[in-house]
Amino acid sequence: MTAARIHVACSPVAELLREAPRATDWLTPQERQRLALLRSDKRRDQFLAARWQARRLLAYALGGSPADWPLTAMPDAPPSIEGRGDLHLSISHSGDCAAAGVALDPIGLDIEAPSRRRDIEGLAQLCCTPSEVALMRAAVDPEAEFYALWTAKEAWLKRRREWIAPQRLRQLELRPAIEPDVRTWSEAGWTVALCGGGEVRWWTDEPASLRGWHVHDAA
């Protein structure tokens, strides 16, 4: 793996669960403890799918089998790759999708795949600046524009390992850019954002809709 390359994959949760072996065969003890705390079947499925997606991506990009790549599962912390402090991993799941990214430099990845309609105007007032709200309202598809902005902000903060809160999101102001700080891809039903420099290598189908964003961070 070169420092200028980021490896990315995004797949349906159901597909990942069909492929993954029995969880006890590949989850680390720490991950099994984390899984046991999840009471919702949907959350358990998303957790398993995202962890298998990360392992599958590592096997694609760096070799071996998915089960050869153990991950940590500290409470309220993103996963890391056991014994590989040189690698940076970011995973995300939403609705029926799970995504992962891995690189030699820090990255942040976020996905949104809403399963129901939301109050986009209300959410935008919570986490967007006035100029972003105007950008969203002027878009052909305001909902898609909102999710591009939202995921891009979350990816920015994830790269910095920061907590995500509405007040912090409003400190970030995005505008379209040719040389971006964050890239977003959109597909029917989901949007994924990636914060990190370098060439992106997709190991699953790359969405056709790609946009770049400059981030002004007022913090």
d(CA 190, CA 104): 26
Whether residue 9 is found in the same domain as residue 76: yes
Contacts 24+ apart (CB under 8 A), 129-134: 129/170, 129/172, 129/173, 131/173, 131/175, 132/173, 132/174
pLDDT band at 7; cut points 50, 70, 90: very high
Whether residue 83 is found in the same domain as residue 134: no
Whether residue 71 is found in the same domain as residue 10: yes
- Domain's final residue, options 53, 87, 110: 110
Q: pTM (2 decimals)?
A: 0.95
Residue 200 lies in a domain: no
Check pLDDT > 80 for residue 8.
yes
Say how many residues make up the chain: 219
Reported as type and span, the H/E element at residue 11 is strand 5-12
Whether residue 129 is found in the same domain as residue 104: no
Q: Of 69, 68, 52, which is closest to residue 18 (Cα–Cα)?
A: 52
Percent above pLDDT 70 for the chain: 99
Check pLDDT > 80 for residue 94.
yes
Whether residue 100 is found in the same domain as residue 33: yes
CB of 132 closer than 8 Å to CB of 215: no
CB-count burial class (<10 Å; 0-12, 13-18, 19+) for 47 = buried
- Predicted confidence at residue 4, as pLDDT, reads 75
pLDDT band at 185; cut points 50, 70, 90: very high
Whether residue 145 is found in the same domain as residue 123: yes
Whether residue 100 is found in the same domain as residue 128: no
Whether residue 15 is found in the same domain as residue 47: yes
- Predicted confidence at residue 188, as pLDDT, reads 86
Whether residue 104 is found in the same domain as residue 144: no
- Predicted confidence at residue 78, as pLDDT, reads 87
Residue 53 lies in a domain: yes
Q: What is the pLDDT of residues 9-63, one digit of tens each?
A: 999 999 999 999 999 999 999 999 999 999 999 999 999 999 999 999 999 999 9
CB-count burial class (<10 Å; 0-12, 13-18, 19+) for 13 = buried
- Domain's final residue, options 54, 77, 110: 110
Check pLDDT > 80 for residue 159.
yes
Q: What is the pLDDT of residues 113-142, one digit of tens each?
A: 987 888 999 999 999 999 999 999 999 999
Check pLDDT > 80 for residue 87.
yes
Task: Calculate mean pLDDT across residues 143-170.
Answer: 95
Q: What is the mean pLDDT of the chain?
A: 95
Whether residue 65 is found in the same domain as residue 127: no
- Domain's final residue, options 95, 110, 125: 110
Whether residue 85 is found in the same domain as residue 16: yes
CB-count burial class (<10 Å; 0-12, 13-18, 19+) for 62 = middle
Residue 219 lies in a domain: no
Number of separate domains in the chain? 2
* Number of neighbours of residue 174 by Cβ within 10 angstroms: 24
Whether residue 38 is found in the same domain as residue 132: no
- Predicted confidence at residue 3, as pLDDT, reads 66
Check pLDDT > 90 for residue 203.
yes
Task: Give, as one character, the DSSP assignment of residue 71.
Answer: B
Identify the domain containing residue 31 by its residue range. 5-110
